[in-house]
A and B are shown apart, each in its own frame.
Chain A
Amino acid sequence: MNTFISLLKREWLEYYRVFMWSPIVVFALIVIFGLTLAGGSGSLQFERVDSQNERSIQIDAQGGDDALGRALAGLLLDVEGTTDTELSARMTGLMNLIPLPFYYVWLVVSLYGLLACLHNERRDRSVLFWKSMPVSDLQTIVSKFAFLAWIAPLLTLGVILAAQLFVTVLLMTLVEQGMGTRLLLHSGVLMSLLQILVGFLMNGFVVLPVFAWCILVSGWAKSMPMMWAFAVPLSLVVVENIMTDGDRIASFIVFHLSMASLPGMSSIGEDPFGKGAATTFAEQFVVLGDAQFWLGLVVGLGFLAGAVYLRRVRNEI
């Protein structure tokens, strides 16, 4: 167990910079975007009007097509006339939308890291050093997967919290006078963070076959692991489509990349005023009822076993 924790630390040392900086860059973009909105440019326009010491807000109709814009509009137009429960639900929904870009950053960086992990160590021959340590290939592979699936998201979580607080504060300055504190109290930040944590826990199992596939390709390919990782499943999808007119492989891949357990993901493309992006914990576990989930576990474990075998027999390129 101690060895395994040390291996996670090793992964941490290799990846913490990229996992800290990539969400920070995205956060900076959100801040710039948010300030631009508040500043009155962009597709969604706010205007503060000071009449009789009461602020009111005008929202440009162009914002109507934008999910985030409509969510904001819904909140901003009438905080006072909204019940606490409703406000909490709406705010949680909004807070759940904020991490969406961070999920994708995590996914892209993780896939990149997985495709590089066994390939790079073979290319620079450091695999010979790693293998000269009393660490088994199984421990090595599992630690790489576990780090990217479950530990790396925690690095992102801090930045997500900062982004959520930023948006909350931004909204507090925009809503009706005296409603700022009420908005903060029902901001949904804590609930959202908890749901994100649960979401990532589940999501680690959902992405298993995709992540394990990337490790396998990384251990197998002599060059261009990224090309192989995409080309092989893409070819299978095309072949299946031509041969059987089916899309089982495609839907399998889409399911396992959907990040469906993460709050906010299921609401993409849906009306945030309807069900909203608010998620119940039960909804985060819906994937368990899907056969794709269990099939993914089996396939993923198979890929992991293959990756362990390749780590054992393959050395420098």
Chain B
Amino acid sequence: MSIVQAKGLVKQYGDVRALDGFDLTVKPGQIVGLIGPNGSGKTTALNALLGLNNLDSGSLSVLDKKPMLQRAKMMQSVAYIADTGILPSWMKVSELLKYVAAVHPKFNIVRAQEMLSRTEIRQNKRVSVLSKGMHVQLHLAIVLAIDAPLLVLDEPTLGLDIVYRQQFYDTILNDYFNEQRGILVTTHEVREIEHILTDVVFMHRGKAMLTTSMADIAEKYIKLTATNGDPLPATPLSARKTLAGTEYIFDNVGRADLSAQLSPNGVLSTPNLAELFVALVEPNQGVMQ
């Protein structure tokens, strides 16, 4: 059973097609990265499956619910962290916890308090006085105390210190993720999350340009770094000059075939997500990020 099932989503804003037949599936045990530049439709897609946006067409179900029509019911089973602090600044931490405990049937306040006790956040403080890092820690403590099968993260570490960022994903992996749950995450900092992803969706101009598991990427795509002038075994997806030579990215070329024809200076590796994205979207441009 899929947690998220989206097919052919279309959303038009004036002249702009924010979503143009977008497909997405999130299953239990998957951590899906939604990767794409600004304006590619990531936020529109997330908003649609959080029940925040109407769609023009397409079919969408999240945990067998229609997000826009059944948002309240659906959000019992979906947790969400946004790119900037969205917790109400006028509330005290303790008040916020009590509020969530009162309206959310799957929230375990003791667990949230226990997680907060491991941080420097004091419960008598107002949300407005917390630093950006603490704000995210607090939201994370709330979200991880909710027994929800789907966690949606929209640029959750934007503007965070490096220490908090590392902790953030470690905590998600250790304290939230398991085989019954799914995570959907968007970020610009692709390198930061690619080691935790099980699957990736490249988004471009409102479409899912590539949907694949991380394991398949290693199977299907190869990066060859070679000195200029070496004969190429096949036509590459992209070529990019670097100090070490030229980096070529190939698809559907067997690693063994490539090795056999490789010049002594050539090095084979698996392209990272940023390199692959650029190779697929804009083969002649520089690497994103």
Whether the pair B72, A136 counts as a contact (CB closer than 8 A) is: yes
Query: Chain B contacts of A3 at CB under 8 A?
Result: 102-103
Whether the pair B84, A131 counts as a contact (CB closer than 8 A) is: no
Taking the complex as formed, is A313 at the interface, i.e. its CB lies under 8 A from any CB of chain B? yes
Q: Which of A19-27, A86-94, A121-129, A272-280 binds B?
A: A121-129
Give chain B interface residues in 44-62, CB to chain A under 8 Å.
47, 50-54
Taking the complex as formed, is A82 at the interface, i.e. its CB lies under 8 A from any CB of chain B? no
Contact mask for chain A residues 1-25; partner B; CB cutoff 8 A; 1 contact, 0 none: 0110111011001100000000000
Whether the pair B72, A135 counts as a contact (CB closer than 8 A) is: yes
Whether the pair A136, B71 counts as a contact (CB closer than 8 A) is: yes
Query: Chain B contacts of A131 at CB under 8 A?
Result: 50-52, 71, 75
Taking the complex as formed, is A243 at the interface, i.e. its CB lies under 8 A from any CB of chain B? no
Contact mask for chain B residues 73-115; partner A; CB cutoff 8 A; 1 contact, 0 none: 1111011101011111111000100011011110000000000
Whether the pair B86, A128 counts as a contact (CB closer than 8 A) is: yes
Whether the pair B82, A9 counts as a contact (CB closer than 8 A) is: no
Whether the pair A6, B103 counts as a contact (CB closer than 8 A) is: yes
Smallest CB–CB gap between A128 and chain B, Å?
4
Q: Complex formed: what's the CA distance from A315 to B47 in Å?
A: 9
Smallest CB–CB gap between B37 and chain A, Å?
21
Query: Which residue of chain B is the closest to A132 with respect to CB atoms?
Result: B80
Query: Chain A contacts of B102 at CB under 8 A?
Result: 2-3, 5-6, 9
Number of B residues near A (Cβ < 8 Å) is 33
Query: Chain A contacts of B50 at CB under 8 A?
Result: 131-132
> Chain B's interface: helix, strand, loop or mixed, by majority?
loop
Query: Which residue of chain B is the closest to A136 with respect to CB atoms?
Result: B72
Whether the pair B86, A134 counts as a contact (CB closer than 8 A) is: no
Number of A residues near B (Cβ < 8 Å) is 28
Query: Chain A contacts of B53 at CB under 8 A?
Result: 313, 315
Q: Complex formed: what's the CA distance from A313 to B51 in Å?
A: 9
Smallest CB–CB gap between A12 and chain B, Å?
10
Query: Chain B contacts of A130 at CB under 8 A?
Result: 88
Query: Which residue of chain B is the closest to A6 with respect to CB atoms?
Result: B102
Whether the pair A125, B84 counts as a contact (CB closer than 8 A) is: yes
Smallest CB–CB gap between A1 and chain B, Å?
12
Q: Complex formed: what's the CA distance from A227 to B68 in Å?
A: 31
Q: Complex formed: what's the CA distance from A134 to B147 in Å?
A: 13
Taking the complex as formed, is A282 at the interface, i.e. its CB lies under 8 A from any CB of chain B? no
Q: Complex formed: what's the CA distance from A315 to B51 in Å?
A: 11
Query: Which residue of chain B is the closest to A128 with respect to CB atoms?
Result: B86
Query: Contacts A134-B72, A136-B71; is A129 near B103 (CB within 8 Å)?
Result: no
Taking the complex as formed, is A133 at the interface, i.e. its CB lies under 8 A from any CB of chain B? yes
Smallest CB–CB gap between B62 and chain A, Å?
13
CB contact between B99 and one of A6, A137, A313 (< 8 Å): that residue: A6
Query: Chain A contacts of B74 at CB under 8 A?
Result: 134
Contact mask for chain A residues 104-138; partner B; CB cutoff 8 A; 1 contact, 0 none: 00000000000000000100111111111111110
Query: Contacts A126-B88, A128-B80; is A133 near B52 (CB within 8 Å)?
Result: no
Choose among B51, B52, B104 the residue with the greatest number of A CB atoms under 10 Å from its CB: B52
Choose among A121, A133, A139, A312 the residue with the greatest number of B CB atoms under 10 Å from its CB: A133
Q: Complex formed: what's the CA distance from A121 to B50 in Å?
A: 17
CB contact between B86 and one of A2, A13, A125, A137 (< 8 Å): that residue: A125
> Can you list 12 A-B contacts with CB-CB less than 8 angstroms, sorted by A residue number?
A6-B102, A14-B90, A124-B86, A125-B85, A126-B86, A131-B52, A131-B71, A134-B73, A135-B75, A135-B103, A315-B47, A315-B52
Q: Which residues of A contact B (CB under 8 A)?
A: 2-3, 5-7, 9-10, 13-14, 121, 124-137, 139, 312-313, 315
By Cβ-Cβ distance, the 6 closest A-B pairs, closest first, are A6-B102, A136-B72, A134-B76, A132-B80, A129-B86, A134-B75
6 new A-B contacts at CB < 8 Å, known A13-B95, A125-B84, A129-B87? A5-B102, A7-B103, A14-B90, A128-B52, A128-B82, A132-B75
